[in-house]
């Protein structure tokens, strides 16, 4: 069965960077895109960006474009998300989520999700 | 960015009740609207794609309707395991955005 297993919670100081991982299994890694979506306390889910696992192509929400890098490693079937210049507003649970390979024609959706990784930014 | 507004923000209902949640988009997303269920701090679970298509394995008491800017999710008869938060998400264009959620609580 499809599984996405994320790395453990992180505590970071303002201004630092964080890199979290999403280990996938149960499907052909190259057949899909992997996304990162975050959920800050009391806020709605917010999409950060994606990587097409098959060709490494990426795209980011313009809100995060200057601070985020998303990548995929085919041999380990793992996706990564690095977020730089952290502030307290980045405190949130970060989810990886699988979606269809892009470009995709139809209602783009996220069919499997990781369990979430809490990133806390505090001095 | 396309904004999604859900209503109500929360509701209280009993097992067996029929429940409807609305999602309004700030501009037309045709039928490219999806629904998710989230329990506590768990990962969201995809329920409905393309406004009306149930994902495999989702019970038929869940249904979706709508197009353009007005959508709804209906649970025909609430089961105990349905008490959760429900989100809409449009799949029309990047950036994909989500509604703020509707929490379904036990009355």
Per residue in A32-71, pLDDT (tens digit) is 999 999 999 989 999 999 999 888 999 999 999 999 999 9
Residue of A nearest to B102 (CA): A44
Which of A24-28, A89-93, B37-41 comes out lowest in average pLDDT? B37-41
Q: Does A95 touch chain B (CB under 8 A)?
A: yes
B69: left (phi over 0), alpha (psi -120 to 50) or beta: alpha
Instruction: Read off the pLDDT band of A104 (50, 70, 90).
Output: confident
pLDDT of residue A105: 87
Q: Does A103 touch chain B (CB under 8 A)?
A: no
pLDDT of residue B61: 98
Residues 65-84 of A with CB under 8 A from B: none
Q: Does A11 touch chain B (CB under 8 A)?
A: no
Report H helices in B17-90.
none
Which of A100-104, B54-58, B64-68, B90-94 comes out lowest in average pLDDT? A100-104
Task: Tell me what the pLDDT averaged over chain B comes to.
Answer: 96
How many Cβ contacts (< 8 angstroms) between chains A and B?
66
Report H helices in B1-107.
none
- For the CA atoms of A111, A4, A58, B94, the dihedral, rounded to the nearest 10 degrees, stands at 30
Chain B residues in contact with A111 (beta carbon < 8 A): 46, 55
Residue A115: which of B32, B43, B90 has the nearest Cβ?
Answer: B43
Q: What is the mean pLDDT of residues B31-38?
A: 97
The residues near A87 (Cβ < 8 Å, ≥ 6 apart) are A14, A121
Using CA atoms, how far apart are residues B89 and B101, in angstroms rounded to an integer? Answer: 10
Q: Does A93 touch chain B (CB under 8 A)?
A: yes
Using CA atoms, how far apart are residues A46 and A40, in angstroms rounded to an integer? Answer: 8
| Rounded percentage of chain A residues whose pLDDT exceeds 90 | 91
Query: In angstroms, what CA-CA distances link A100 with A93, A104, B91, B107?
Result: 23, 7, 11, 38
Residue B91: which of A45, A62, A109 has the nearest Cβ?
Answer: A109
Chain B residues in contact with A114 (beta carbon < 8 A): 43
CB A45 within 8 A of CB A38: yes
A64: left (phi over 0), alpha (psi -120 to 50) or beta: alpha
For residue B51, with 0-12 CB atoms within 10 Å meaning exposed, 13-18 middle and 19 or more buried, which class applies? buried
Q: Side-chain half-sphere of B57: how many Cα atoms within 13 Å?
A: 3
Using CA atoms, how far apart are residues A34 and B27, in angstroms rounded to an integer? Answer: 26
Could A111 and B46 be called an inter-chain contact, meaning their C-beta atoms sit closer than 8 Å?
yes
The shortest C-alpha distance from A18 to chain B (Å) reads 21
């Amino acid at each position: 069965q499809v599984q996405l297993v994320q790395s453990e919670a992180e505590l970071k100081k303002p201004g630092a960077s964080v890199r979290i991982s999403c280990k996938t299994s149960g499907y052909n890694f190259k057949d899909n895109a992997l996304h990162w979506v975050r959920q800050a306390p009391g806020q709605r889910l917010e999409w950060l960006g994606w990587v097409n696992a098959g060709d490494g192509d990426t795209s980011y929400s313009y809100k995060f474009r200057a601070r985020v890098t998303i990548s995929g490693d085919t041999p380990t079937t793992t996706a990564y998300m690095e977020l730089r210049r952290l502030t307290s507003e980045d405190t949130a649970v970060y989810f990886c989520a699988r979606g269809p390979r892009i470009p995709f024609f139809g209602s783009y959706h996220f069919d499997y999700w990781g369990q979430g990784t809490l990133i806390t930014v505090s001095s | 960015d396309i904004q999604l507004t859900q209503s109500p923000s929360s509701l209280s209902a009993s097992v067996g009740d029929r429940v409807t949640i609305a999602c309004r988009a700030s501009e037309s997303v045709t039928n490219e609207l999806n629904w998710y269920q989230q329990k506590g701090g768990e990962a969201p679970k995809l329920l409905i794609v393309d406004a009306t298509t149930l994902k495999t394995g989702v019970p038929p008491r869940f249904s979706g309707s709508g197009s353009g800017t007005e959508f709804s999710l209906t649970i025909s008869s609430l089961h105990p395991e349905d008490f959760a938060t429900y989100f809409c998400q449009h799949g029309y264009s990047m950036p994909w955005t989500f509604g703020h959620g509707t929490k379904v609580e036990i009355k």
